[in-house]
Amino acid sequence: MIDPPLHRPLALPAFVLRAVGISTLALVAVAGLVAGSGSGSVVASALVSDACATLPSTMTAVLTSGSSPDGATSGGWNLRLSDDVPVPCPGAGQVLVKVLTTAVNPVDWKLEAEWIPGYVRGVAPDPAANPALRLDDPAVGLDFAGTVAAVGSGCEAYGLVVGGEVWGESTRGYMGPWIGSPSITELPGFMYAQYGLAACDAIGVRAAGSPVPLREYAALPVPAGTAFDALRMSGAPWKKEDNVTVAVASGAGGTGIMMIQLAKALGARTVVTAASPRNHDLLRALGADVVLDYHEAELWEGMPENSVDHAIDNFGDPGTADRAMRIIRPGGTFLIMPAFKGESYTDTPKPGVTQLPYLGWTATRADSDVLSGLVETGKLRPVIYRSMPLAEVTDAWDISVAGKLTGKILLDVPQAA
Ligand SMILES: NC(=O)c1ccc[n+]([C@@H]2O[C@H](COP(=O)([O-])OP(=O)(O)OC[C@H]3O[C@@H](n4cnc5c(N)ncnc54)[C@H](OP(=O)(O)O)[C@@H]3O)[C@@H](O)[C@H]2O)c1
């Protein structure tokens, strides 16, 4: 197989190529096993196999040759575009999605750059027990918008039909070990690809007539799902008469843009946030009532004492919890959305302020339906910073690492015939 490097020519050492070869074979084996397992119905299995028989056998996808520990600082990502990756067939409870657009989330390159401890690093739990996210797993990418290519057995209740427009994240529960789940993930993350598997009980559906084009739904899954989940843990939905003020540390990125809109949609009366001045008008238009310039003073310094009910740190500076306590009212909450940058909760919270141990969103159909509904009614809209071809993924990751984007980078996937 010839895998042209993406933009930057990388001399791949033999052991890396070997690792990829093994992983690709493993992928084929997993796809085969999944397709044959636990359908509960021979007829259903046969139908799924028939549906898969009409699909191409191989596809174009971005593969990683293993981790790029210095990738985030050197730009030396070990990513390659391959055009002979086997197309998986959905197993029980799975949908095969023909991916139109995927999106860059910081977690994509943080996994690759070895920023995330524990389940990928092999610190705890043992990665051997969780093979889906081992370092030599070639799969990359979580979020997608696309159409249903094939539906696995056990998905009858979800109203999914071939050709239907869907969005979501490929991997459910990848934070599994931290939230007590026995497995890291039920599906390998793999949406930087022409086809990818998703769970039918978590996938979102785009309604006909939605004001947002299908491709832009790829901006939703991780950012909107996480923002929704974090706000819910903070007490949302609220009644307007509760007069709730929500503080969002970082307003203009993928999660901030979703959190501002969702906080308002879920009943917050006031939303305060911080961003560079060039983004202030946009954030006000999306619902933010107060937007500070964090270059002048970070939110935790710039807001008056006891002025906020629920503070969410979606940036992750070390020491934020200590500094944030001043502005949170007794009875309020402080939540960190893990960014793996050295952030931590404080040992000395203000009396009456609860620190909420948040980990990450596990996609569900119920949550996806709520988010779809908000998009359809114009209460939640994606903001696209840039659209790039999938082949430019390394450039896209470099932009994401630089951390100055407004909204999301979408990656357009070349469409199979
Ligand atoms: N644990 C989870 O489940 C989870 C889920 C999603 C995201 N995350 C993490 O949450 C973080 C945010 O994600 P994201 O997708 O929103 O990232 P992002 O899109 O890369 O965020 C970029 C934004 O950060 C802003 N920013 C830069 N420096 C800042 C500062 N000092 N204070 C406030 N804002 C600043 C920039 O604002 P300006 O352009 O205005 O300067 C830019 O708009 C990431 O670390 C991500 O890994 C965790």
User: pLDDT tens digits, residue range 64-74?
Assistant: 776 677 777 77
Please name the amino acid found at residue 132. Answer: A
Q: What is the pTM (predicted TM-score) of this model?
A: 0.86
CA distance 169 to 189: 8
pLDDT in the model for residue 183: 39
Q: Nearest C-alpha to atom 1 of ligand 1 is from which residue?
A: 338
Q: Which atom of ligand 1 is nearest to the CA of 275?
A: 40
Nearest C-alpha neighbor of 393 from the set 73, 75, 67, 44: 75
- How much is the pLDDT for 189? 57
**Higher pLDDT, residue 21 or 345:** 345
Region 284-295 average pLDDT: 98
Question: Which residue lies with its CA nearest to atom 22 of ligand 1?
Answer: 253
Q: What average pLDDT does the segment 350-375 reach?
A: 93
Kindly list the distances between the CA atom of residue 295 and the CA atoms of 273, 386, 387, in Å, as whole numbers in the listed order.
13, 24, 28
Residue nearest to atom 44 of ligand 1 (CA): 339
Highest mean pLDDT among 163-177, 200-214, 329-343: 200-214
**Residues 6+ away with beta carbon under 8 Å from 94:** 34, 152, 155, 187, 197, 198, 199, 200
pLDDT band at 404; cut points 50, 70, 90: very high
Atom of ligand 1 at shortest range from CA of 359? 1
**Tokens found for residue 114:** 């070895």
Distance between Cα 59 and ligand 1 center (Å): 32
Distance 26 CA to ligand 1 centre (A): 34
**Atom number in ligand 1 closest to CA 249:** 33
Cα of 176 vs centre of ligand 1, distance in Å, is 23
Beta strands in 339-415 (DSSP E): 354-356, 384-389, 408-412
Alpha-carbon span 40 to 153, nearest angstrom: 8
Say how far apart CA 307 and CA 329 lie, in whole Å: 6
Please check the confidence at residue 40 and state whether its pLDDT lies above 70. no
Q: Range(s) for CATH 3.40.50.720 in the chain? A: 224-356
Best residue among 104, 120, 250 to mutate for probing ligand 1, ranked by most atoms within 8 Å of CB: 250
Flag the least confident range among 15-24, 163-172, 198-207, 320-329.
15-24
Residue 296's CB: how many other CB atoms inside 10 A? 10
Taking residues 201-219, report their average pLDDT. Answer: 97
Separation of CA 326 and ligand 1 centre (Å): 22
Q: Is the pLDDT confidence value at 10 over 60?
A: no
Question: Which comes out higher in pLDDT, residue 276 or 358?
Answer: 276
The one-character DSSP state at 408 is E
Q: pLDDT value at position 171?
A: 61
Centre of ligand 1 from the C-alpha of residue 64, in Å: 24
CATH superfamily of 224-356: NAD(P)-binding Rossmann-like Domain (3.40.50.720)
Measured in angstroms, how far is the CA atom of residue 257 from the centroid of ligand 1? 10
pLDDT tier, 411 (very low <50, low <70, confident <90, very high otherwise): very high
pLDDT at 117: 53
pLDDT at 4: 35
Residue 63 binned pLDDT confidence (cut-offs 50, 70, 90): confident
**Which DSSP helix (H) or strand (E) runs through 129?**
none
Q: Which residue has the higher pLDDT, 285 or 142?
A: 285
State the Cα angle at 47 between 43 and 51, rounded to 5°. Answer: 170
d(CA 127, CA 24) in angstroms, rounded, equals 18
CA proximity to 314, closest of 403, 243, 390, 380: 403
Q: Tell me, in angstroms, the distance from the centre of ligand 1 to residue 28's CA.
A: 35
- Closest Cα to atom 33 of ligand 1: 250
Q: Around Cβ 374, how many Cβ atoms within 10 Å?
A: 20
Helices 42-53, 14-36: axis angle to 10 degrees equals 130
- Provide φ and ψ at 64, rounded to 5°: -105, 145
267 touches 292 (CB < 8 A): no
Could you tell me which CATH number the domain at 14-220+382-412 has?
A: 3.90.180.10
Cα 220 from Cα 199, distance rounded (Å)? 16
- How far does the centroid of ligand 1 lie from the alpha carbon of residue 185, in Å? 24
C-alpha closest to that of 162 among 182, 141, 147? 147
Give, using CA atoms, the residue closest to atom 3 of ligand 1: 360
Distance 99 CA to ligand 1 centre (A): 25
Q: State in Å: Cα 90 to ligand 1 middle.
A: 34
Residue 266: which of 293, 287, 291 has the closest Cα? 287
Q: Whose CA is nearest to atom 5 of ligand 1?
A: 226
Distance 129 CA to ligand 1 centre (A): 31
Percent of the chain with pLDDT over 70: 77
Over the stretch 171-190, which tens digit does the pLDDT of each residue have? 644 444 444 443 334 445 58
Which of 226, 255, 341, 399 to mutate for ligand 1's pocket (most ligand atoms within 8 Å of CB)? 255
In this structure, the number of other CB atoms found within 10 A of the CB of residue 203 comes to 27
What pLDDT digit, counting tens, does each position of 80-105 carry? 899 988 888 888 888 999 999 999 99
For the CA of 257, the closest atom of ligand 1 is: 16
Q: Which of 272, 268, 297 is nearest to 283 (CA)?
A: 272
- What is the number of the ligand 1 atom nearest to the C-alpha of 295? 31
Pocket of ligand 1 (CB under 6 A): 105-107, 110, 222-223, 226, 249-250, 252-256, 274-276, 279, 294, 314-316, 337-339, 360-361, 400, 403-406
The whole-number pLDDT of residue 220 equals 98
Average pLDDT over residues 330-341: 91
* CATH 3.90.180.10 location in the chain: 14-220+382-412
Atom of ligand 1 nearest to the CA of 408: 19
Task: Name 291's bridge partners.
Answer: 273
Q: How far is the CA of 256 from the centre of ligand 1 (A)?
A: 7
How confident is the model over 216-274, as pLDDT tens digits?
Answer: 999 999 999 999 999 999 999 999 999 999 999 999 999 999 999 999 999 999 999 99
Q: Which of 32-46, 241-255, 302-316 has the lowest mean pLDDT?
A: 32-46
Q: Name the residue of 226, 315, 361 whose CB sits within 8 Å of the most ligand 1 atoms, as the mutation to test its pocket.
A: 315
Looking at every residue in the chain, the average pLDDT score rounds to 81
Residues 181/359, Cβ–Cβ less than 8 Å: no
Q: What is the DSSP string of 192-242?
A: SBSEEEEETTT-EEPPTT-SS-GGGGGGSHHHHHHHHHHHHHTT-S--GGG
Model confidence at 310, in pLDDT bands (50, 70, 90)?
A: very high
Q: Is the pLDDT of residue 356 over 60?
A: yes
Strand, coil or helix: what is 63? strand
Does residue 382 contact residue 220 with C-beta atoms inside 8 Å?
yes
Distance CA 412, CA 298 (A): 35
